[in-house]
Amino acid sequence: MTGTQLILLLAVAGIVGGAAYLLMRSRNRTHGTVTIGQQMADAIAAEKQRVARRGAGGSPMPGPGYDTERGDDEMLTVVPLPMDRELQRFVRDFAEKDQAARDELRDSLSLDDFYALITFARRSAVLALNDHDPERCSDGATALAMIDERRIDVRDAAWAAGILAHAAFEIDASDALSRAAELATSGIAERLSRAGKKRPDLADWGFVETRIDGRVGMVGTGYAAYSPTLPLLQIAREILAGLREGDYPTGTITVATELPTVWCSREHENEVTQLLTECPATVSVSARIARRLGDSLSHMWVAWIVETPSEARAAELLGLVPSEPRAGRYVTAVAYGRAVCVIVAGSVAEGVDPHESPDSIRAQAERIRRIMERIISTGTS
């Protein structure tokens, strides 16, 4: 894989920030080669063995499930859902069972069930911060204790445990993780115990806290310089809200990211690189296309909002973003004041037509320019 291909792959994934970076960084390495996905492949194989042993059977998981298209797995704005209440009762019932009954219940849960429990744990962390409720932390940690680490990528559970630990230390409930560890398998118990021993740096787990209308949320964070003087996060939130009203119902925001130079002029790569090193902050917005319109893995929609040091440098960056289509992907950019937004959208799968067109991308770019103008010039949302 070339450097350009790798950047394209990261762009397709949405440049989701520090969490993705941590996962990539921790992949197994053999002779300098990164093995991506082996843990999940092993988990799927273990799940197939469980199904062969037990039969397909029905899941004991309650409730309607979480809807990722509705954004239930996002952490920017988390509000209680009926599924949260169902799982709250479910995990508390698990905690009251004896060892044999807990083992049996755990073995009856599927890989998909485990990832629903991870979603519940992450949501519980954010709700705990907002409600200042130690029981939320306890419920989230117990949900992780229900997981068989052989049938997930265990780093996903460790990630959720780190987020829970942040919430638990913030509200003086760190013992929730050690108590849950007593109910867990050895691999999960180790991660829960480790997470509960020391107050974590949330950024190490790929997130930072933010507040929207007085409520705590979390956004992804990368590891680039981030000292914004413009309301980049507010702009990103409005861009995402507008996309949700159209064909992209879910998405993520990541701060402290970088604009990949692959989307800029290749003839002036050195100039682009130098210019970007002078920029104090970048925020990205990544959106997933609606299921009714296609496979989200076959389409991409990503925007980078870059704060430049001056209007002159913003104009220079704007001129360094060519707008010609690139293998089914469309690129355009708009600017207001010192802010530049670079938008990339299109198909990333051979044989799949892009959902967007040059005209639709230009229309989106103009809407984004108006958002930038209104927020930057007035400071209002």
Predicted confidence at residue 375, as pLDDT, reads: 96
Residues 6+ positions from 381 with CB-CB distance below 8 Å: 234, 237, 238, 375
Confidence of residue 314 (pLDDT cuts 50, 70, 90): very high
> What's the mean per-residue pLDDT of the chain?
87
Tell which residue, 88, 91, 314, 129, has the closest CA to residue 212. 129
Amino acid at 160: A
* pLDDT at res. 21: 30
CA 288 to centroid of chain Cα atoms? 12
Does residue 2 lie in a domain region? no
Q: For residue 214, is it within any domain?
A: no
Whether 22 is in a domain gets the answer yes
The confidence band for 356, taking pLDDT boundaries of 50, 70 and 90, is confident
Q: Are residues 238 and 324 in the same domain?
A: yes
pLDDT class of 28 with cuts at 50, 70, 90: very low
* pLDDT recorded at residue 250: 86
Q: Are residues 286 and 369 in the same domain?
A: yes
Q: Which tokens in the block code for residue 300?
A: 């991409």
In a domain, 213, yes or no: no
Identify the domain boundary among 156, 176, 205: 205
- Please state the rounded mean pLDDT for residues 136-161: 96
Does residue 168 have a pLDDT over 70? yes
Count the Cβ atoms, other than its own, within 10 Å of residue 115.
17
On whether both 96 and 240 belong to a single domain, the answer is no
In a domain, residue 9? The reply is: no
d(CA 185, CA 183): 7
Of 161, 180, 205, the residue that ends a domain is: 205
- Final residue of a structural domain among 205, 238, 266: 205
Q: Please write the tens of the pLDDT for every residue from 73-114.
A: 889 889 999 999 999 999 999 999 999 999 999 999 999 999
CA-CA-CA-CA torsion sign (373, 223, 287, 124): negative
Closest CA to 258 of 278, 286, 284, 240: 284
Q: What is the CATH number of the domain that holds 334?
A: 3.40.1000
Provide the residue type at 241 as one letter.
Answer: A
Inter-residue contact 21 to 206 (CB < 8 Å): yes
Name which of 149, 280, 154, 256 is nearest 202 in CA terms.
Answer: 256
How large a percentage of the chain has pLDDT more than 90?
67
149 and 227 inside one domain: no
Residue 41 lies in a domain: yes
Query: Crossing angle, helix 134-145 and helix 154-170, to 10 degrees?
Result: 160
Alpha-carbon distance of 150 to 100, in angstroms, equals: 18
Residue 330, class by beta-carbon neighbours within 10 Å (0-12 exposed, 13-18 middle, 19+ buried)?
buried
pLDDT greater than 90 at residue 295: no
Q: Are residues 93 and 155 in the same domain?
A: yes
**Is 281 in the same domain as 361?**
yes
Nearest C-alpha neighbor of 160 from the set 151, 150, 147: 147
For 171, which DSSP code?
Answer: T
CA geometry: angle 297, 369, 379, nearest 5 deg: 110
Mean per-residue pLDDT, 198-215 = 90
* 253-284 tens-digit pLDDT: 999 999 999 999 888 889 999 999 999 999 99
- 340 and 247, same domain (yes or no): yes
Q: Tell whether 54 and 132 lie within a shared domain.
A: yes
273 and 167 together in one domain: no
Give the chain's domain count: 2
Question: Using the 8-state DSSP alphabet, how is residue 380 labeled?
Answer: -
Q: Domain containing 332: what range? A: 222-378
In a shared domain, residues 80 and 171: yes
Q: In angstroms, rounded to a whole number, what is the distance separating the alpha carbons of residues 91 and 60? A: 12
Of the ranges 19-33, 67-81, 128-142, the best mean pLDDT one: 128-142
* Same domain assignment for residues 200 and 265: no
Angle between helices 311-319 and 269-277 (to 10 degrees): 150
Cα of first residue to Cα of last residue in the chain, in angstroms, is 42
* 343 and 237 together in one domain: yes
What pLDDT was estimated at residue 13? 39
Residue 7 resides in a domain: no
* Three-state DSSP state, 338: coil
pLDDT in tens, 38-72: 889 999 999 999 999 988 778 899 988 998 888 88
